[in-house]
Chain A
């Protein structure tokens, strides 16, 4: 009898409502952040998903239209196809390359003494935080002979007349990739630099004793496995960034870009939403982009978990 009473009391203490009550102070601390987080992150995602099944022009209330937005996207919208193709090309190229760049530069920078390390970190990180200063590339890629690229190539007699680089379908995507890579050494890069500094030096000495012969073997057998958590976080940063490319395209290639050569999912979304006021349709694009980003990230996490196992 007594025994069951004690068990009963224990069960009561472990019960959900008891634990919630006990942590009242904790929930009060969480509330301000998570209320705002709900309104400006969770609710927008849900709203976007709901609106994607409707026709909505802001002025009149939304009308439920089923899958018609999605059907129109895939069957009836050539610009969407171009935008999807460009987004995937940009992501497949800049995503992995920028990730490897972050890792490689961080690894090399870590070989230097602290003052040089700080200096190089600043140089490589600066473009990603300098706001829209990347518009300086407009001067480099300018379509007349005052542009730096044209000027240089003409001086070297490689081209005869100035080329209008960003108005030529052949070059738009190429230069967007170059500028995007220039901009891409951001948060992921800093994480790698920081992660490398936390690796225990004794591991390398032990590695040398165990027969590692050069820095490349060290990288593969010691460094990478030791910074797996940073590798996973960096991947999230680079993937999300590479799928959201839009401002660079709008500011360098124009909006709309020539024959939509620089259109991406985000520029198409902005075009449909803020210019044409087709909020339902834009929400369908947003929802697809959301699923694409989450899916790619989850896949990358799965792959990276295998590093060193």
Chain B
């Protein structure tokens, strides 16, 4: 009995109102649901290591029997033969995702600070509009967005992807909610010392909201990483890595092996970033509640 209890030590000890039967039930339940959630992801990983004949086997198997790295070398060959060099796609992704992420974190936090900490005419109205913007998704505005971007003359440039991404509503919302917990006394002493608002923002507020800007960066990265940019970018030389990866996925049966690796890459990159920043993100989300 003692050993079983020890096994169940992954559950927090010394909580009031907990029964062993209840713990066992929850463990079992989570195990079943965890398998459902993880199975497709495991399949993605396994497929990347299956030789081509195993990708088309009946009955299909989850785990590879003769794991190989053939698919990876196939992918490198494919990528090195592409019309636009791979490095170009990577540079494009760095510019687009980097620009959109840095721009968003800077602009959103610059606007979030006065919204959280200063009382000025229009404060509630502006924040109310941002909350309203969380209540509909980008698909609603995609057509007028296209027209506006053409009208602004930034179609077929990096800016067509960077500028809209810099002004997403969710980031500003999360940043403002997180900044509210900075103690006012910290800011007041700086005001008494005669520091300007910009100075306070940069040297007091920003260092204190590091978890929030990491969170914004990771969420923004997740958003932008999946974007192929094909709606706005016509020139092949401007398109991001995601575009060339999607081309390979759509490449037919002969490319299934390389496509399996591509799927793995597409999924693994954002998941890795999340893993690295998980504790900061959870800390930020703790303040995300809506206080009416």
Binding site for B on A (CB under 8 A): 16, 19-20, 23, 25-27, 29-30, 32-34, 36-37, 39-45, 47-48, 51, 58, 105, 108-109, 111-113, 116, 118, 120-127, 129-137, 139-140, 145-148, 151-152, 154-155, 182, 185, 187, 190-191, 193-195, 197-198, 204-205, 207-208, 212-215, 217-218, 227-233, 236-237, 239-241, 243-244, 246, 266, 269-270, 273-274, 279, 282-283, 286, 289-290, 293-294, 297-298, 301, 305
Scoring B residues 185 to 223 as 1 if CB is less than 8 Å from chain A, else 0, what string do you get? 000000000001110010000000000000000010010
The one of A37, A126, A194 that contacts B41, using a Cβ cutoff of 8 Å: A126
Say whether A215 contacts B60, CB under 8 Å: no
The one of A19, A44, A148, A218 that contacts B17, using a Cβ cutoff of 8 Å: A218
Tell me how far the C-beta of A93 lies from the nearest C-beta in chain B, rounded to whole angstroms: 17
**CA–CA, A269 and B285, complex, Å:** 33
Say whether A36 contacts B120, CB under 8 Å: no
Q: Does B5 contact A (CB under 8 A)?
A: no
**CA–CA, A194 and B47, complex, Å:** 34
Tell me how far the C-beta of A270 lies from the nearest C-beta in chain B, rounded to whole angstroms: 8
Say whether B120 contacts A43, CB under 8 Å: no
- When distances are taken between beta carbons in the complex, the residues of chain A under 8 Å from B118 are 23, 26
Tell me how far the C-beta of B16 lies from the nearest C-beta in chain A, rounded to whole angstroms: 4
Say whether B30 contacts A120, CB under 8 Å: yes
**CA–CA, A269 and B139, complex, Å:** 9
Say whether A33 contacts B107, CB under 8 Å: yes
Say whether A36 contacts B163, CB under 8 Å: yes
Query: Are A146 and B110 CB-contacts (below 8 A) given A293-B137, A294-B136?
Result: no
Q: Does B235 contact A (CB under 8 A)?
A: no
- When distances are taken between beta carbons in the complex, the residues of chain B under 8 Å from A298 are 135
- When distances are taken between beta carbons in the complex, the residues of chain B under 8 Å from A266 are 139
The number of chain B residues with a CB under 8 A from chain A is 97
- When distances are taken between beta carbons in the complex, the residues of chain A under 8 Å from B144 are 43-45, 47-48, 51, 283, 286
Query: Are A236 and B111 CB-contacts (below 8 A) given A23-B120, A47-B147?
Result: no
Q: Does B20 contact A (CB under 8 A)?
A: no
- When distances are taken between beta carbons in the complex, the residues of chain B under 8 Å from A27 are 120
**CA–CA, A228 and B58, complex, Å:** 50
Say whether B274 contacts A43, CB under 8 Å: no
Tell me how far the C-beta of B271 lies from the nearest C-beta in chain A, rounded to whole angstroms: 5
The one of B167, B271, B284, B285 that contacts A37, using a Cβ cutoff of 8 Å: B167
